Structure 1
Amino acid sequence: MAPHAVSQEHQRIWWKEAVFYQVYPASFKDSNGDGWGDIPGLVSKIDYISSLGVDVVWLSPMFESPQVDMGYDISDYEAVYAPYGTVEDVEKLAQACHDRGMKLILDLVINHTSDQHAWFKESRSSKTNPKRDWYFWRPARYDEQGNRLPPTNYRSYFAGGTWTWDETTKEYYLHLYAKEQPDLNWENEECRKAVYNSAIHFWLKKGIDGFRIDTVNKYSKHIDFPQAPITDPKTFIQPAAQFWCNGPRIHEFIKEMNTKVLSHYQTYDGQPLVTVGELSLTPEPAGVLPYISAKQKELDMIFQFDITHLGQGNGFSDKYDFTPWTLPEMKRIVEKWQTFIDGTDGWTTVFNENHDNGRSISRFADDSLAWREVCAKMLAIKLMTQTGTVFLYQGQEIGMINAPKEWPIEEYKDVEALNYWNEAVRLAENGADLTRKERIRHGLQIMARDHARLPFQWDATENAGFTTGSPWMRTHDLYREINAESQIDDPNSVLSFYKKMIRLRREHKDVLVYGSFRLLEPENLSTFAFRKHYQDKTAFVALNFTASPQPVPTGIAGSGKTLLASSYEKTDPEMLQPYEGRVYIDY
C-alpha cells in the first residue's frame, strides 16, 4: 500500500464528526458570588456554548472532593462538590444540553480515589478489613542500617515517591499522583464492581452521554512491584512507568468495563455512547491501536499527548525544564498521529489545549499584543482542518493566553506546579542543582497547568464577569482586552473566526474530518503545510509560524483552488503574511 493510502473508509459515527467543548467548572462561571465557578453558572451560559456550533460539552470533575487535585481526588462518586451545586444541577445541565441538540459527558476518574473516600477509610482501618485489598498496601523494606524504605523506588507524577507510610496499620499504600490520591486495585473484582456501580451506572442513569476517562491505561500494574532501574543517580526515586502503565491486564479490564456497563446505555437521542480515554506514556501507534480498534470494543478514541509535550523536558523530573522545539518537530508529531489510523478501524482526536497545559497561543505561537489575535486564528485553522474528533477548551475560542510572566509563583495554585517548584527550591538549598529554580520558573511560565485554569473572561467588568465575589484564582490582567462580550458582535474577532471554522468543518466534513493527511515540506522551518484528500476532493492548508512573510508553499500556490478561510481579511496569492493560516478546497 502506498504511503498515506487508506484501504478502507472510516465508518461514519456521530462522535467522529462532533466538536467537543471542555468546561473546567471552577473557572467557567460563578452564579452565587462565592468566587468558585459552578454548574448553575454553566447552565446560565449554555446558550453561549451552543452558539459556538459545538456538539458535546465535556464537564471536568465536579464530584465530591477535598480538592487537593482540583476534583481528580474524588471522595464520593455519587455526590457533587457543594460549591459546584448538586446532582440535580447536573441533571438540569444534561437537559439544557439536550434541549439544544448537544450532548454531555463527564470525567470518569477511576484509577484512584481521594484518601477521604469511604472505601479508603475502610481499607486503611485494619489489615483484615474487607476493603483492604481494594487498594495497594505493602510492608516496608529496610536497608542495612535498619532504616525504613518504601516498597519501591518509583517517582510519582507530582514529584516525590509513589508510596506513603500509614501509621494505622504500619504499611505503605500506592499513589501514582498525590499522596491523597491512593490507587484502586483493579485486580480485585469486588472493587471493580463497586466502581462500575458508583462511578458509571449512577451517572448514566442520570442521562449523560458518555465519559472522558482519566488515566485509562494505568488500571493494571505489575503487582510484584519490581524496583525501577537507576536512571537518575542523584535521587532515590526513579521513573517507573513500565511497571504501572499499559499493564498486563489493562485490555481485559477496559473490555470488561465496556461490555458489562457502557455498552448497555445510549445517548439521549438513541446514539451510541462516546468514550475518550486519556492515554499517556504510549508513544507508538502499535501501543495505541488496541485501545481504539472498533473490533476490540474498548474505547472510541484516545488523547495522545505528544503535541502538548512539545517543550517539555525528558522524563518525569524534567517535565517543566523547558526545551526549545522546532517546527519540523511539531510537523512530525502531527503527521504521526494523523496517519496512524489510515487503513485501520481506529480513530483519532485533535486538540491544542486542555486543563493540563499552558495556552496554545503562548506555547506554540506569539501572545504579544501585535500577534495574538492572528495567531489564535492561525491555530484555529490548524486544529479545524485535521482528521479526527476536535476538542476545544474553554477560552480557546476567544484567544485566552497564559498568565503574565511577571506573576509571582504565589499565584500558582496547582499541586503539580507547586510540588515541582518546592522540589527545585530544596535542590537549590541543598546545593544539588543551583540553576533548577530559574529553569523550573521559566518552564512553569510557559507550560504550567494553572494557565488554563484562570477564570473565563466574559466581559470587561470587575473579575472579567466571572464572579461578583473574590475569585478562587486571579483573573488575567488583560481581561478588559480579551473577553467574550467584546467579540460576540465583531465579525473579525477570534470568537467569530472559531464559529466560522466550526461551520466550515461541518460543511466540508468529508475531507476535513475523514480525509487522509499528507505532510508537505516537512523540513521547512517557517511554514507548516499539508494536504487532505477524500475521493475527488482535496483541502490544502498553509500555516506561517513566523512573524515574517513567507512564500506560499509549493503545491498550494496556483489557480483552481477556492480559498475557504484565512486568518487575514486580505491575502496575497504568493505570500503568507506573518502568522497567517489559510485553507483551500480543490474539487
Structure 2
Amino acid sequence: MIRKWWKENAIYQIYPRSFKDSNGDGIGDFQGIISKLDYLQELGIGAIWLCPIYESPNFDNGYDISDFQAIMKDFGTMQDFDEFMREAHERGIKVVLDMVLNHTSDKHDWFVESRSSIDNPKRDYYIWRKGKNGGYPNNWESYFSGSVWEYDQETEEYYMHLYARQQPDLNWENKEVVNELHDMIRWWMDKGVDGFRLDAIAHIVKAVGLPDADNPQNLPVVQAFQFFSNLEKVHTLLKDLNQQVFATRDLMTVGETSGLGPEQALEYVGNERHELDMVFQFEHMHLDCVGTGSSKWVGRSWNLLDIKKIMSHWQTVLHGKGWNANYFSNHDQPRHLSRFGNTGEYRKQSAKMLATLIHLLQGTPYIYQGEEIGMTNASFEHIEDYRDVETINYYNISLKEGKTEKEILQNLARRSRDNARTPMQWDNTTHAGFTDGNPWIQVNSNYTDINVEQALNDPDSIFYYYKNLIALRKKYPVVIYGDYRLLCALHHQVYSFIRSYEGTELMVIMNFFDDEPTFELSERISDEGWELVLSNYDEHEHHHLHSLPLRPYETRVYYKDTPSVLPKAAQ
C-alpha cells in the first residue's frame, strides 16, 4: 500500500470564527490561531483544515465567497495568513483549505456582472432560466428550505441556488468558469497550501434539462437530490481537475459527498480513478434523525448495529482500493458527544470511547475543534441565540407550519449546526478565554467545567487520551494499513474489531452504553499474547478475553505481533 502523509496523520479542523480571538472584536482570527499552534503541536496533529477564510458577506459563515483570493477582514490580512502558514509548517503541521467550488456569494464580481443583463459575457457563469407556467423553472427544493430558484426583477429570470439565495450556483458547463477555478486553485497551491477540502463537490453537475422531480402530492417544491448529486459528469470534471491541477503537487484532497455508499465512493477515491484522495460520507450522520433535508430536524433513536453495519461496510469495501475519512463531528453537525455519547457522569469515558473508534478504523481521523476536550451541544434556549442561516430558516418555516416554539427549539437544541460553532473553550475566565470582547455567538455555559486549561492539568483528560491515540497510530503500522474484521457483529452494546497487518494485530473493544455488558471473544481466536496498550479506565488488569466484563463506555485496545486465529487442529 502506498504511503502518504495524509494517511498517517490526524487532521484538526478549525472553524476560524470560533477558535481564538486576538483583538477583542469577538471573532476568531489568524493571530489567534497562531497563538494556539503550540497547543495543537502538543496534541500531535499533522494538518489543520481551515473552514473558509476568504472574503465574504458572511451570510453562510464564509461559505458564500465574494473573492477567492482575498482574506476575510474579520480574520486578518493575507500577511496574517502567510504568517500562520509559515508558523504551522515550522511545527510540521500542514495546511488544508476549504474550497467552495459549487457556488459563490451573490456579491462576487462574477455574479454582479452575470445579473446585470442577459447578454453580459458572464451571464452564463451561473445557471439562469425563465419561469414556466407562472412559477419556478422546476420544483427542486433547496438544502436550506424553499425553492432552489430566486427571481431577479432586473432581468426577469431565475437563478439557481442549492443553498441560500445569497449563494448562486456556478455553471460548470461553462469552460471559462472551470478554467477560472483551476487558475484560482493553482494560485493557492503556489502559496504553499498542502491540500483542499472540496465543499459540496458532488453537486457541481445538474441533470440535463433540469427536469421536475416526481411530485404526487403536488407540493410547491420537493427533494430532488437525484438531479444534482453524484451525477456521472462530476467524475469527468474531477479527473480533469486532478490531472491539470492537483496531481502536479503532493496534495491531499477530500470531498464532501453526501448521499452515497462505499461502492459509489470508490468512483471518487478508487486508486485507479485519479479524482480525490478521500470523501466524507454521511451515512452514520443520519442515524439519529428521520432523514435528510428538512427531515433532518426530526429525531429518532440510533442503533449500534446500524453504526457497526455502516462503518464495517466502508472499511471492507474501501480496503486496498481507496481511503476512508473518519469523523463524528464537524462544523455542519451537532457535537457527537451529545449525539452518541454521554454528557453527564460518563462524559470523559464516552468521549474517549468514540475517539477510539474514529482513530483506530482504517482511514484518516478528523478532529473537530473542541472534541479533544469533550465539548458538547450548547442547547440554546432562545432563537435569538442562534446565528446559522439554515437554523433560522427552519425556525421561521416551522412556525408558519404550526409547530410550537417549544418543539422547534427542542429540535434546534439537538440538531442545529450552531451547536458546533460556539467558541472554543480555553479556560474558565469570561467568555471561556476566547475573547476579551463580546463573542459573535454565545459561549456554551459549561465552559467553567470543560476547557483546555482544565484538560491540560488533568493527566486523565480527554485531551491526553487523544494525544495517546495519535501516538498509537504513529507507533503501530497496523492501525494505518491493516485490514478490518468485525467481531460480535450482532452484539447490541459492544463494538469490537481486529486489524491485521504483516503478522501484527490490534483488537479494539468498545462498550457504547452506560450499562455493563460482557464481551466474549470467539473460541476460534486465542486470548494469549495480547498486550493492553490503551484503556479509558485507570485500572489495567488483564481479564480473560473469552469472557470480559465491561464497565460503562469502557474501551480496551490490545496489540500482539503473532496471528490470533488458532490453527485448525486446536480449534
**Normalising TM by the smaller chain, what interval?**
over 0.9
Match for residue 324 of structure 1 among 267, 278, 301: 301
After superposing the two structures, state which structure 1 stretch, 463-472 or 478-487, moved more.
Answer: 478-487
Residue identity in the other structure for 1:212: R
Checking the alignment, whether the CA contact within 8 Å between 1:322 and 1:439 is kept in structure 2 is no
C-alpha distance 235-479 of structure 1, shift in aligned 2 (>3 A): same
Is 1:583–2:557 an aligned residue pair?
A: yes
For residues 67 and 234 of structure 1, the distance between their equivalents in structure 2, rounded to whole angstroms, comes to: 35
Query: Where do 1:368-383 residues align within 5 Å?
Result: 368=344, 370-383=345-358
Aligned to 1:17: 8
C-alpha distance 557-476 of structure 1, shift in aligned 2 (>3 A): farther
Cα deviation 1:187-221 (Å, max 9, x = unaligned)? 000111111223x1221121111101111111111
Structure 2 residues not aligned, in runs of 5+: 562-571
- Aligned-pair distance for 1:442? 3.2
C-alpha distance 495-153 of structure 1, shift in aligned 2 (>3 A): same
C-alpha distance 141-276 of structure 1, shift in aligned 2 (>3 A): same
Aligned to 2:253: 275
Checking the alignment, whether the CA contact within 8 Å between 2:381 and 2:409 is kept in structure 1 is no
After superposing the two structures, state which structure 1 stretch, 119-128 or 499-508, moved more.
Answer: 499-508
Is 1:412–2:390 an aligned residue pair?
A: no
- Aligned-pair distance for 1:248? 3.6
- Aligned-pair distance for 1:505? 1.4
Aligned to 2:567: none
Aligned to 1:4: none
Cα deviation 1:346-392 (Å, max 9, x = unaligned)? 11111111111111111001111x11111111112112111011111
For residues 464 and 523 of structure 1, the distance between their equivalents in structure 2, rounded to whole angstroms, comes to: 43
Checking the alignment, whether the CA contact within 8 Å between 2:16 and 2:50 is kept in structure 1 is yes
Aligned to 1:528: 495
For residues 527 and 163 of structure 2, the distance between their equivalents in structure 1, rounded to whole angstroms, comes to: 53
Cα deviation 1:14-60 (Å, max 9, x = unaligned)? 21111100000000000000000001110111111111111001111
For residues 57 and 545 of structure 1, the distance between their equivalents in structure 2, rounded to whole angstroms, comes to: 29
- Aligned-pair distance for 1:223? 3.4
Aligned to 1:236: 220
Is 1:54–2:50 an aligned residue pair?
A: no
Aligned to 1:187: 173
Cα deviation 1:418-473 (Å, max 9, x = unaligned)? 11121111110xxxxx57x6554333222221111010000111100000000001
- Aligned-pair distance for 1:307? 1.7
Q: SS state of the match for residue 319, structure 1?
A: helix
Is 1:358–2:334 an aligned residue pair?
A: yes
Query: Where do 1:145-544 residues align within 5 Å?
Result: 148-198=134-184, 200-230=185-215, 233=217, 235-264=219-248, 266=249, 272-282=250-260, 284-344=261-321, 346-368=322-344, 370-404=345-379, 407-428=381-402, 434=403, 440-508=408-476, 510-544=477-511
Checking the alignment, whether the CA contact within 8 Å between 1:529 and 1:553 is kept in structure 2 is no
Checking the alignment, whether the CA contact within 8 Å between 1:350 and 1:383 is kept in structure 2 is yes
Checking the alignment, whether the CA contact within 8 Å between 1:397 and 1:498 is kept in structure 2 is yes
For residues 347 and 501 of structure 1, the distance between their equivalents in structure 2, rounded to whole angstroms, comes to: 19
- Aligned-pair distance for 1:410? 2.4
Cα deviation 1:228-259 (Å, max 9, x = unaligned)? 1016x273111111111122421111111111
- Aligned-pair distance for 1:222? 1.2
Aligned to 2:119: 128
For residues 533 and 420 of structure 1, the distance between their equivalents in structure 2, rounded to whole angstroms, comes to: 46
Q: SS state of the match for residue 297, structure 2?
A: coil
For residues 69 and 308 of structure 1, the distance between their equivalents in structure 2, rounded to whole angstroms, comes to: 21
Checking the alignment, whether the CA contact within 8 Å between 2:287 and 2:303 is kept in structure 1 is no
Q: SS state of the match for residue 239, structure 1?
A: coil
For residues 305 and 410 of structure 2, the distance between their equivalents in structure 1, rounded to whole angstroms, comes to: 23
Q: SS state of the match for residue 125, structure 1?
A: coil
For residues 449 and 441 of structure 2, the distance between their equivalents in structure 1, rounded to whole angstroms, comes to: 19
Q: SS state of the match for residue 324, structure 1?
A: coil
For residues 505 and 465 of structure 1, the distance between their equivalents in structure 2, rounded to whole angstroms, comes to: 31
C-alpha distance 333-442 of structure 1, shift in aligned 2 (>3 A): farther
Aligned to 1:562: 531
Checking the alignment, whether the CA contact within 8 Å between 1:382 and 1:581 is kept in structure 2 is no
After superposing the two structures, state which structure 1 stretch, 255-264 or 459-468, moved more.
Answer: 255-264
Residue identity in the other structure for 2:447: Y
For residues 548 and 251 of structure 1, the distance between their equivalents in structure 2, rounded to whole angstroms, comes to: 46
Could you list the runs of 4 or more consecutive aligned residues of structure 1 that deviate by over 4 angstroms after TM superposition? Answer: 437-440
For residues 428 and 394 of structure 2, the distance between their equivalents in structure 1, rounded to whole angstroms, comes to: 34
Residue identity in the other structure for 1:309: H
Number of matched pairs: 554
Q: SS state of the match for residue 73, structure 1?
A: coil
Checking the alignment, whether the CA contact within 8 Å between 1:91 and 1:207 is kept in structure 2 is no
Checking the alignment, whether the CA contact within 8 Å between 1:220 and 1:245 is kept in structure 2 is yes
Aligned to 2:82: 91
Q: SS state of the match for residue 80, structure 2?
A: helix
Matched-pair identity in %: 42
Checking the alignment, whether the CA contact within 8 Å between 1:322 and 1:442 is kept in structure 2 is no
Query: Where do 1:26-41 residues align within 5 Å?
Result: 26-41=17-32
Q: SS state of the match for residue 104, structure 1?
A: strand
Residue identity in the other structure for 1:363: R
Checking the alignment, whether the CA contact within 8 Å between 2:382 and 2:409 is kept in structure 1 is no
- Aligned-pair distance for 1:74? 0.2
Structure 1 residues not aligned, in runs of 5+: 1-9, 143-147, 267-271, 429-433
For residues 409 and 560 of structure 1, the distance between their equivalents in structure 2, rounded to whole angstroms, comes to: 56
| Superposition RMSD in Å | 1.5
For residues 544 and 410 of structure 1, the distance between their equivalents in structure 2, rounded to whole angstroms, comes to: 38
Q: SS state of the match for residue 115, structure 2?
A: helix
- Aligned-pair distance for 1:558? 3.8
Checking the alignment, whether the CA contact within 8 Å between 2:259 and 2:283 is kept in structure 1 is no
Checking the alignment, whether the CA contact within 8 Å between 1:221 and 1:248 is kept in structure 2 is no
For residues 414 and 135 of structure 2, the distance between their equivalents in structure 1, rounded to whole angstroms, comes to: 36
C-alpha distance 262-518 of structure 1, shift in aligned 2 (>3 A): same
Checking the alignment, whether the CA contact within 8 Å between 1:321 and 1:440 is kept in structure 2 is no
Checking the alignment, whether the CA contact within 8 Å between 1:542 and 1:582 is kept in structure 2 is yes
Checking the alignment, whether the CA contact within 8 Å between 1:321 and 1:439 is kept in structure 2 is no
For residues 522 and 417 of structure 1, the distance between their equivalents in structure 2, rounded to whole angstroms, comes to: 37
- Aligned-pair distance for 1:480? 1.0
C-alpha distance 337-221 of structure 1, shift in aligned 2 (>3 A): same
Residue identity in the other structure for 2:60: D
TM-score after normalising by structure 1: 0.92
